[in-house]
Chain A
Amino acid sequence: MTLPDVIMLAITVLGGSAALLVVTSRNVVHSALFLVVALLSVAGAFLALGAEFLAWAQVLVYVGAVVILILFGLMLTRAPIGPMAQHNELGKALPIAVSGGFFAVLITLIFGSFGDTTLELVPVSPGMLGEVLYIPWALPFMALGFLLTVALIGAVVLARREEGEGPLPEPDPELADVSREPVPTDASTNPGVSAPSEEPAPVTGEVTR
């Protein structure tokens, strides 16, 4: 077992446990923060695999932008940020069975097919990647830019409030988790976000703009 193997294993343990915490944490904000760790460990895996540019892109795009976006989404929906009902009506059994089965199948396949394959790692510098990205891959790259533009416009169109649409509806009291009291700091430290048990503040259009 060489040094890269050790690093990769450490990343696997770190990232895997962070990912598990993302999906099991009772508090959505905590989930988002664990997502940061999980995505950072993916960036680490990229570094270990020699994909330097991808690693920094991962940090910038996901950790920097996507997680922030998710946090904003949480705030804008005035969703219960505190602890909440954890599971849907499927319960735990089916998800665990499916994902566990999936994992077993994948592990069998991986070790069956690539168990004795060794990677010859060649570090790829951003310059080398840039050269292929802007010459042979230029057209797909531009198409990607177009896709992002379309997604941006689509998101704006979807999220903007139409004229004459009424104020935001009352939060659904059923959303509140009945099993635990909300963490008291949530409501006070997040102005604009009201805990579900409180009287909902009159919300105006500024929230979505």
Chain B
Amino acid sequence: MQAAYPLTFAALLFCVGVYGVLSRRHAVLVLMSVELMLAAVTVNLVTFGAMVGDALYTGQVFALFVMAVGAAEVGIGLAIVLLIYRNRASVNIDDADLMKY
């Protein structure tokens, strides 16, 4: 297989994720976009792992770690979204702007 194809797939997913993170207002949608970016990273890891071909399967193991971290991130992220919603009656991340000037 050409190495460029899965890498392109990953790049596509990542950039779509970036777009989602930057453009959407809904906090849960932003979280989903982050998930897309993480998935892109795992694809990259597996591809480069196959390219290097080491005996420890470092690429795949790290992809697995990224998955677990991603799962943890969703859990915490949703908890934070719930908390923001409870306090500010909104899941709109434009509204969570207490840190502004």
Contacts and interface: CB of A to CB of B under 8 A. Distances in A.
Interface magnitude class on chain A: 35 or more
Among B7, B23, B46, B51: residue with most chain A CB under 10 A: B23
A194 to B, nearest CB: 13
A79 B75 contact: no
Contacts, number: 283
A171 B19 CA distance: 27
Contacts of B89: 168-172
B9 A119 contact: no
A105 to B, nearest CB: 9
Contact of A61 (B7, B20, B51, B71): B71
A206 interface: no
Interface in A35-49: 35, 38-39, 42, 45-46, 48-49
Contacts of B80: 158
Interface in A121-136: 121-122, 124, 128-129, 132-133, 136
A86 B18 contact: no
Given A19-B12, A88-B23, A158 B50 contact: no
Given A28-B26, A110-B8, A122-B50, 16 more contacts: A54-B63, A54-B67, A70-B28, A73-B28, A95-B22, A96-B23, A99-B16, A117-B2, A118-B2, A144-B65, A148-B72, A150-B72, A159-B82, A159-B83, A171-B89, A172-B90
14 contacts: A5-B2, A19-B36, A22-B29, A62-B35, A77-B82, A110-B7, A122-B53, A132-B55, A133-B64, A151-B71, A151-B75, A152-B75, A159-B82, A172-B89
